[in-house]
Amino acid sequence: MPPKPPPLTLIVATTPIPSTPTTGHQHAPVRLGIGQNGTLPWPRIKADMSFFARITSRPPAPSPTGSTNAILMGRKTYDSIPASLRPLGKRINAVITRSVEEIARRVQHDLDGKRRKEEEKMRAAGQGQGQGQDQGQGQAPGPQTDAIVCAGLEESLTTLEARYGAEGKLGQVFVIGGAEIYGAALRVKTRGVRIVMTFVEKLAFQEDRGRVFECDTFFPVDEELLQERGWRRVSAREVSEWVGETVTDEWIVEGEVRVRMVGYERVD
């Protein structure tokens, strides 16, 4: 039997939202909000943004051929990334859409612009420090910036494997949202599924909106389900092993919010 392919890792930041008001001791189910009006429900949280950037761009281990992680996303999530940043650097951006030709033209245009900027940056760094310093002989190439556009999640996995995996150049595969694509990833039965989840909470109660951020888009699995059937909450040590850096169970306070990173694994 061929070996099971490596697990998919979903990376998501969520804020718990009771779906109905809690009265007395009655416990309202908690939905996990992820988006509002096509963007994130909360203002920029540096601790989470930099965590996301580090773990999705850091290849799993040095390899002689050099490997690059892939980030799979829905077209709406791609559009929610600021134009000056997309496609995200040092990662293979896989954009999923039903309008492949149209979106592929747009993504290719973005990729050309991004590569020009990266080349300019390298030239400037080379002039400052002596040309070619970064490209020492025998060194594995660093992660590359690339983008593909596919008609579905399964197709994106097959394309990544054929284009990069066969040459040993595919690192980890992360699913970065949004709700529709998380839903598709949770339906994949051919590989394991992990979730690295950042909980985001307001520190202070606000008269108008309580403690929650308003959300119109939700993670397809709610908090109770993650605690009950089919999922195992993993230890901070295991999350650290998954992501290649130390993750603790502690809340991190930043401005008016606090964040905490936790992990879940699907148990089949």
Ligand X SMILES: NC(=O)c1ccc[n+]([C@@H]2O[C@H](COP(=O)([O-])OP(=O)(O)OC[C@H]3O[C@@H](n4cnc5c(N)ncnc54)[C@H](OP(=O)(O)O)[C@@H]3O)[C@@H](O)[C@H]2O)c1
Smallest gap from Cβ 84 to ligand X, in A, equals: 17
Is residue 92 near ligand X by the rule CB under 6 A?
A: no
Q: Under a CB-based contact definition with an 8 Å cutoff, are residues 229 and 199 in contact? A: no
Using the rule CB under 6 A, give the single segment among 74-82, 138-146, 156-164, 233-241 that binds ligand X. 74-82
Task: Provide DSSP, 161-174.
Answer: HHHTGGGT-EEEEE
Interface positions, 134-173, toward ligand X (CB under 6 A): 151-152
Token output for 113: 């612009």
Q: Which of residues 203-222 bind ligand X (CB under 6 A)?
A: 217
Least separation in angstroms between residue 72's CB and ligand X is 10
3-state SS, 108-161, equals HHHHHHHHHHHHHHHHHHHHHHCCCCCCCCCCCCCCCCEEEEECCHHHHHHHHH
Count of residues that interact with ligand X, criterion CB under 6 A: 28
Among the listed residues 8, 9, 10, 12, the single contact to ligand X using CB under 6 A: 12
The only residue of 31, 56, 71, 75 in contact with ligand X, by rule CB under 6 A: 75
Figure out which of the listed residues 74, 143, 171, 263 binds ligand X, where binding follows CB under 6 A. 74
Which one of 91-99, 107-115, 118-126, 222-230 is the stretch in contact with ligand X (CB under 6 A)? 91-99
Nearer to ligand X, 70 or 96 (CB): 96
Q: Which of 154, 161, 180, 201 binds ligand X (CB under 6 A)?
A: 180
Cβ-in-10-Å burial (0-12, 13-18, 19+) of 43 comes to: exposed
Our CB check for ligand X shows the closer of 161 and 180 to be 180
CB contact at 8 A, 219 and 176: no
Q: How far is the CB of 31 from ligand X (least distance, A)?
A: 13
CB 120 within 8 A of CB 112: no
Pairing mode, if any, of strands 30-35 and 8-18? antiparallel
The 10 Å Cβ neighbour count of residue 268 is 7
Binding site for ligand X (CB under 6 A): 12-13, 34-35, 38-40, 73-77, 80, 96-99, 103, 151-152, 176-181, 184, 217
